[in-house]
Amino acid sequence: MELLIDKTLKELREWAIKNNLERFRADQIYQWMFKKWEDDPAKMTNLSKELRTWLKENAKFHTLEKIDKVEAPDSVKYLFKTDDGYLVETVLIKEKDHWTLCVSTQIGCNVGCKFCATAKDGLIRNLTVGEIIDQLFWVQKDIKDLPKPWNKVRNIVFMGMGEPLANFNNLKKAVEILIDQKGIDISKRRLTISSSGILYQLRKMANDEVLRNVNLAISLNAPNQKIREEIMPITKTNPFNELWNLLVNYPLPEGRKITLEYVLIKDINDQIDHAKELAKLIKPHRKRFKVNLIPYNPSPILPYERPPQERIYAFQKVLLDNAIIATIRWSKGQDVFGACGQLRAKREIPLLNN
């Protein structure tokens, strides 16, 4: 059986012709999948009965198995299993008037950030295009009958498990499927790629005509080389100053800003002096940056803690006093193990490859 959700419309048309189907049938199937989120050929009513039967026997619409769903008032966490037995997390986050979906791009991660539960695994493998898209497919199927605006994911952030740009080709094709107006039709302005700041991959993104038009978020997490290297060892080979120079000169689409994500970790990077150093760095370029302060979401398998609330607000005030856009993103889904890797760590399911 052939998976269909990892194909662009052009590829689906080629698949249809190869299987002696009319080209327009591919367009119909594409719309059933990505406009109506339908995975049952029997319900694709504008297809002939014979074609529906054929699809049921020769095509498949999922490559992930949904094995867990944990709900909290502000988020829903999904746990999926791949065909080869690995676990993938996806988090649906409830904003004021829309959903944001946090999508994973790898199983594990080789970046090695000290404060991240996913890093404990190391990198197992990249997710395929189908596995990236299927996270959205399962979630959309789950919410499509809710009242508006809660029946559709509006924003997608590649901030789940893994370093998205390390899975560059699969990420790019997934983005192409996501932005296709004939299908899912997510605006480039509502797609965000979050990176740990590996210079080679950022330069590659800056030169890519598809990916450079979506939003960029950088996990900065420190105001200098020393602190960043302590919690993000990749900084040894991707120096802070070189990263900052790249960001200052990054080719931004008109009206966009780069989001600087800053996870506040108690007694590590949360002092007023750290805030002042960060403000000094950003202030000359404040029109191209905004800061997203993220109080650390504690993990049962890591030693780090969240700073006290008054310290979080004091850090933000330093930035605001310097006319820098700085918001606090209070971690959602703590009741559902919201930080990357936590629900996976809690669910001890034997991996088929072990």
Render pLDDT for 170-194 as a digit per residue (tens, 0 to 9): 999 999 999 999 999 999 999 999 9
Which pLDDT score, from 0 to 100, does residue 305 have? Answer: 94
Which pLDDT score, from 0 to 100, does residue 331 have? Answer: 67
Which residues, in sequence order, are CB contacts of 44 under 8 Å at separation 6+?
28, 29, 32, 38, 52, 55
What does the pLDDT profile of the chain (354 residues) look like in tens digits? 999 999 999 999 999 999 999 999 999 999 999 999 999 999 999 999 999 999 999 999 999 999 999 999 999 999 999 999 999 999 999 999 999 999 999 999 999 999 988 777 789 999 999 999 999 999 999 999 999 999 999 999 999 999 999 999 999 999 999 999 999 999 999 999 999 999 999 999 999 999 999 999 999 999 999 999 999 999 999 999 999 999 999 999 999 999 999 999 999 999 999 999 999 999 999 999 999 999 998 888 899 999 999 999 999 999 999 999 999 988 655 544 545 545 555 444 333 333
- Locate all alpha helices (DSSP H) within 74-195, ordered by sequence: 129-143, 168-179
Cβ–Cβ under 8 Å, residues 339 and 297? yes
At the second CATH level, the architecture of 65-346 is: Alpha-Beta Barrel (3.20)
Catalytic site includes residue 102:
no
Which residues on neighbouring strands pair with residue 80, listed in sequence order?
66, 88
Which value, in Å, is the radius of gyration of the alpha carbons in the chain? 21
Catalytic site includes residue 340:
yes
CA atoms within 13 A on the CB side of 54: 11
| DSSP string for 242-304 | HHHHHHHT--PPTT--EEEEEEE-TTTT-SHHHHHHHHHHHGGGGGGEEEEEEE----TTS--
Which residue matches tokens 């002042």? Answer: 276
Which residues on neighbouring strands pair with residue 258, listed in sequence order?
289
SS3 46: coil
Query: Taking the model in full, what pTM does it have?
Result: 0.92
Burial class (CB in 10 A: 0-12, 13-18, 19+), 328: middle
Q: Report which secondary-structure segment, H or E, holds 78.
A: strand 75-81
Domains of the chain, residue spans:
2-60, 65-346
Which residue matches tokens 């008032």? Answer: 73
Which pLDDT score, from 0 to 100, does residue 181 have? Answer: 96
CA distances 181 to 276, 304, 309, Å, are 44, 43, 43
Cβ–Cβ under 8 Å, residues 44 and 38? yes
Identical fold, 2-60 and 65-346: no
Which pLDDT score, from 0 to 100, does residue 330 have? Answer: 82
Q: Which of 50, 65, 89, 348 is catalytic?
A: 89
CATH number of 2-60: 1.10.150.530
Single-letter amino acid code for the residue at 9: L
Tokens of 298: 């504690």
Q: Which of 102, 109, 113, 340 is catalytic?
A: 340
